[in-house]
Structure 1
Amino acid sequence: MARASSGSDTRAGAVLRRLRGDILNGRLAPGSKLGFAELGERYEVSTGVLREVLPRLVEQGLATSEAQLGFRVVDVSVDKLMQLTDARVVLESIVIRDAIATGDIAWESEVVARHHTLERVGRTVTGDEVSDAWHAAHEAFHLAILAGCGNSYLYGAAARLRSISVVYRCWSTAEHRRTHRDVEGEHRAIMQATIGRDADLAVRLGERHIRLTTELLIASRPAAAPV
């Protein structure tokens, strides 16, 4: 029995990772229906596994669920992005201050290691997309900073909002082509302020990083994007 359960968990985890990746990379469009039949065929998986996976996507903020309407990819709009940005700034500022105040040497080392990985992966743009490897390293770096927070509820809420914000990659193509933003420099400065225990600077840099991303995404959104 234990082995069967373990196999099911492994299968559900694999499908969750694929679904999450397809949402975050725009292969499943914001607001699109997540039907059991279509997903079952797409991922070659049973309805039972999908019934386990889809609620987890809702918990992560990447999908919604409504009676009679089923599951859908979370929708996006300028207004929602602005609200999300304000919420992230407030919450991440609290979490970063707590992390800097309470994080230990192991936490510092993890932040430095994740930043090193992010720099080594590099933000090379191929066609219209930044690589999945860079996106994964980017998320890991920022989460490593937040993970120093001693309050698991605050960390969990901040991580969830950060996850939702990545759905707005669907607006990011023009940003890569039209701007000469020094993203690497921004990350380096945030890392240095964090391990240097300069909470005021780390919070200020973090807010600028978030708000600049939002401004560029809104400025470069496709004409068909909802407002």
Structure 2
Amino acid sequence: MGQPFKTRHEAVFSRLRSDILTGRLQPGSKLPFSELCEHYEVSVGVLREALSRLLEQGLVRSAPQQGYFVTAISRSGLVHLTTARREIETLTFRLAIADGDTVWESEVLAAHHRLAQCPETTDDDPDRINEEWASQHQVFHETLLRGCGNPWLIDIAADLRASAELYRRWSVPKGHEHARDIAGEHRAITDAAIARDAELASALLARHISLTTELLLESGLVDDDADDAMTTRSV
């Protein structure tokens, strides 16, 4: 008996997402169905489901009569996305601090502990993100907002964060965050949340979100072309 559809869908979705975030599938590149089906050894139906999910996360774009493409890294897009994330996530975080109970507090502490214990990069390549760290990082930020009683805000924040993941991944390698204490930022955010200092916590989270954008814009890895479409420089 073949692998269940859901399992195959999850597998190809995870592989596609990983290949996009690690740069194996470059921003702006076309995603041809025939080649992808052969490479991932799945049917068109399974691949289409995975691409639809990536489309929802903002990692893939579609164009009429042209098909699917990896989302291009865009200076203007990054700035707009960062503004939206900063506003939505800090609002949701404030409400989480106001609404969250002691269970939420313990979940935040546990999520931070797991993240802090996980190395950010791989042993064999200090410029490559450790996928386990990336997973724990996502869980940590999701947990911060989980105390909010408004599910719409939580869902919107999650969608925006998923869309920003491609940009975040491109800002971490290349040696542009050598002076950044990411672990310290996470610790400070956690401490402020547990202390129920919404003003400080939201300010720290806003800075945490903005700094990634600033580093990527300063790196020169992305530029607007003459038509205001976005191009990615070779790295």
Query: Which TM-score applies when normalising by structure 2?
Result: 0.88
Corresponding residue for residue 149 of structure 1: 148
Cα shift readout 1:161-199 (whole Å, capped 9, x = no counterpart): 1111110122432344x6321111110000111122111
- In structure 1, give the amino acid aligned to 2:231: P
CA contact (8 A) 2:61 2:70 kept: yes
Structure 2: runs of 5+ lacking an equivalent:
224-229
* Structure 1 range deviating more: 102-111 or 198-207: 102-111
Cα shift readout 1:191-225 (whole Å, capped 9, x = no counterpart): 11112211111100001111111111111233778
Whether 1:170 aligns to 2:170 is: yes
- In structure 2, give the amino acid aligned to 1:54: L
1:45 counterpart (32, 39, 42):
42
2:101 counterpart (104, 109, 113):
104
- Aligned Cα RMSD in Å? 2.1
Work out the number of aligned pairs and report it: 223
Q: Distance in 1 between matches of 2:12 and 2:128?
A: 23
Whether 1:222 aligns to 2:221 is: yes
CA contact (8 A) 1:171 1:221 kept: no
Whether 1:10 aligns to 2:10 is: no
Whether 1:57 aligns to 2:62 is: no
Query: Which TM-score applies when normalising by structure 1?
Result: 0.91
1:80 counterpart (77, 81, 100):
77
CA contact (8 A) 1:99 1:148 kept: yes
Runs of 4+ in 1 over 4 A off after TM superposition: none
CA contact (8 A) 2:127 2:175 kept: no
CA contact (8 A) 2:171 2:216 kept: yes
CA contact (8 A) 1:111 1:145 kept: yes
CA contact (8 A) 2:121 2:127 kept: no
Q: Secondary structure at the match of 1:174?
A: coil
How many percent of aligned residue pairs carry the same amino acid?
49
- In structure 2, give the amino acid aligned to 1:174: K
Cα shift readout 1:35-89 (whole Å, capped 9, x = no counterpart): 2111111211111111222111111221112221111111111111111111111
